[in-house]
Amino acid sequence: MRMHEVYLSMGSNIGDRELNLRNSLKKLSSHVKLGRVSSLYESVAISDAPQDKYLNIAVKVSTQLNPNELLRLLKEIEVSFGRNLEEKNMPRAMDIDIVFFDLLNVKQLDLEIPHPRSHLRAFVLMPLIEIDPNLIHPSLNKNLKDILIDLEDQDIVKLNAINY
């Protein structure tokens, strides 16, 4: 069976954010092969509702799951941390997005790959660049570093490596 190369963006802004990320990586690792994991990045929430800052990481994984199977797994992990999937842009202990899946372009009702706003968010781009500096956005056909340079400054700080 073919292994797929996938890049995920993970974030938490409720409770022990780093512990939430570590525990999510552990849960994820029992279903996919973890590759490189970025350092922790702290960023301001993108929301109209006042929220605490997020801790974000990017992770490269290899999996035999197809995009929809992987999405189901990620939603199960989010729900296991108390996430209400009906609420949008609200504080959450765990948020996991598929940013890239091989070089696929997918547009479905509940799944869009590449992630439709990934190229607008430094908290997605910076961790991804850390784990793969030559990564090309498959639908924009641009290096992520070039995309990041063109973004307006966003409130994001690189912290320490995550121990998982």
Does residue 95 carry a catalytic annotation?
Answer: yes
Is residue 92 annotated as a catalytic residue, yes or no? yes
- Active-site residue (options: 2, 22, 72, 83): 83
User: Which candidate, 107, 124, 110, places its Cα nearest to that of 46?
Assistant: 124
CA distance to 40, 43, 78, per residue, from 65 (Å):
26, 30, 18
Q: How far apart are CA 117 and CA 58, in angstroms?
A: 15
Q: Which of 52, 92, 110, 155 is catalytic?
A: 92
Choose, from 17, 52, 95, 146, the residue flagged as catalytic.
95
Identify whether 17 is a catalytic site residue. no
Q: Considering 2, 17, 36, 97, which one is annotated as catalytic?
A: 97
- 52 belongs to the catalytic site: no
HSE value, Cβ hemisphere, 13 Å, CA-based, for 18: 11
Q: Which residues are catalytic?
A: 83, 92, 95, 97
